Amino acid sequence: MQLSNMTIFFTMLVILLIGIIFFIFRHWRRNQKEEIFSDVLFAAGIELVLTSFGTLDAEIIAIFKNKDVETNYVQLIIGFILLACSWFLFRHIKAKMYILNINGYFPDRRIEYRHEDVGLHHFQFKEREIDFIRLFKKGINETVYTEIKEELIEKTNNFKSETRDKKRGYTGIAPSPLIMLAGNTFGREGIDEFFEYNKFTSKYYQLHEKAKLKSNTHLIIPDITSFIKNQQSETFAEIVVSISLTSQIVEGQLTQFTCPHYMIQVRKPQDNIIETKKQLHNYVKQTLVTLESLTRKIPTLKKIHLVYSGQSCFSFELGRLIDITRHAEITHYQFSQQSTPLYPWGIVINGDRSGEFLINESEGVNINRA
């Protein structure tokens, strides 16, 4: 090999290795451990393949002795094996789904324990669980909430960063306001698949692609103009919006809120009513449009008190898309049948007070910071 060719050869090698180091650093920042391992295999394979034709010192000696450098075929074969392993690992990583599981209630609700329910093998997915069961069992107050919030936000952001170029899934069983806060933290980056737990069959199911909706699952959304006209005053600063999907929220459950009640529902609420991704996205889109229309058509509206009966996938997706520019300040409340009032605490989802914990200590709209 001529000296000029040798210089070009090793310059290309250095540039290639620098590029690999860049990818290793990027994957390290995103906590993508499998990708780092794939990068290292690729770097080692490239180094073995290229230097099997001769190292820099061997090339220099060969030039002075006017001899050719012998190819190290064992090293060459090992290098190609490492490159093949790196390629297969990279393909495996790209095909794998990463599932975010937010769990505040039950310790055994991991998909990895029930992966056969949804037709997944262990090697097809990785599950990232945010488990705050122990904390939540202490009883919710500002101290406990602050601990849960910090863990929820940190791990949600970690999952978002780790899976930026991956297929994502979501499942969760936790208080709806915390799920919605996690969705708002996750932001506009999408989720590809959703998994829900059926308590009657004790099995998970995946929302499928079926497009046609059952007639009794369409959202019933009251006409906003008529709703405003039916109020004692057409200027009010606060409103309660209830969304009934799995069980009916009735007026008697909302007596703690003295502002007008705007009630969205399906014709026949039932458990696990959301079965398809199209259905989920339709519900979320219609709700977002309604919240935006309420904000726009009631110029004096400053706060929306949101109560919800339904599945966690809706809470997560709605939280993901709520923002401050199109919606009044939205506080989502948690229902508890054993407490007085029935909605004892909530979390501000958007705006300057996003993430703030609110507790309702008595009847009426006396919602104060804990």
Which of 52, 80, 95 represents a domain boundary (last residue)? 95
**What is the SS3 assignment for 84?**
helix
Residues, the chain = 370
Dihedral Cα 268, 272, 274, 275, nearest 10 deg: -120
Lookup result for tokens 């398809």: 276
Tell me which of 10-14, 128-132, 134-138, 271-275 is least confident: 10-14
User: Cβ distance 42 to 74 under 8 Å?
Assistant: no
Q: What is the number of alpha carbons within 13 Å of residue 254 lying toward its C-beta? A: 22
Question: Minimum mean pLDDT among 142-156, 214-228, 282-296: which range?
Answer: 214-228
Q: Are residues 151 and 45 in the same domain?
A: no
Query: Up-side HSE of residue 188: CA atoms within 13 Å toward CB?
Result: 1
Pairing mode of beta strands 125-131, 97-103: parallel
Residue 305 and residue 211 share a domain: yes
Distances from the Cα of 121 to the Cα of 126, 235, 248, 328, angstroms: 10, 56, 37, 44
Domain end (from 56, 79, 95): 95
Domain range for residue 260?
A: 97-369
Please say if the pLDDT value at position 115 is more than 80.
Answer: yes
Tokens read off for 296: 């726009």
| Residue 82 pLDDT class (50, 70, 90 cuts) | confident
Domain count, the chain: 2
Q: What residues pair up with 63 in beta bridges, in sequence order?
A: none
Token pair of 309 as six digits: 């009966």
Query: What are the pLDDT digits (tens) for 14-71?
Result: 666 676 666 666 655 655 566 666 677 777 777 777 676 655 445 544 544 555 556 6
Lowest mean pLDDT among 49-63, 174-188, 345-359: 49-63
Same domain, 90 and 123: no
pLDDT of residue 365: 41
User: Would you call the peptide bond into 107 cis, given omega within 30 degrees of 0 as the criterion?
Assistant: no
Distance, CA of 309 to CA of 302 (rounded, Å): 23
End-to-end CA distance of the chain: 76
Does the pLDDT value for residue 233 go beyond 60? yes
Regarding whether 102 and 90 lie in a shared domain, the answer is no
Return all residues near 241 (Cβ < 8 A) that are at least 6 apart: 262, 263, 264, 290, 291, 294, 304, 305, 306, 307
- Residue that finishes a domain, picked among 77, 95, 113: 95
Q: Are 179 and 304 found together in one domain?
A: yes
* Residue 70 sits in the same domain as residue 183: no
Judgement on whether residues 200 and 144 belong to the same structural domain of the protein: yes
Residue 138 shares a structural domain with residue 271: yes
pLDDT for the residue 2: 46
Burial string for 203-219 (b: 16+ CB within 10 Å, else e) reads: ebebbeeeeeeeeebeb
Task: Give me the percent of the chain exceeding a pLDDT of 90.
Answer: 52
Residues 151 and 39 in one domain: no
Burial of 91 (C-beta count, 10 Å sphere; 0-12/13-18/19+): exposed
Q: Cβ distance 349 to 331 under 8 Å?
A: yes
> Is the domain of 249 the same as that of 142?
yes
186 & 235 share domain: yes
Burial code of 250-260, b = ≥16 C-beta within 10 A, e = fewer?
eeebbebbebb
Structural contact between residues 101 and 171, judged by C-beta atoms closer than 8 angstroms: yes
Contact partners, residue 263, CB within 8 Å, separation at least 6: 222, 241, 242, 244, 249
Looking at the structure, do residues 263 and 325 belong to the same domain, yes or no? yes
Q: Is the full-model pTM beyond 0.85?
A: no
Task: Give the contacts of 49 (CB within 8 A, at least 6 positions apart).
Answer: 76, 79, 80, 83
Phi, psi of 359, deg, nearest 5: -125, 140
263: helix, coil or strand? strand
For 273, which DSSP code? -
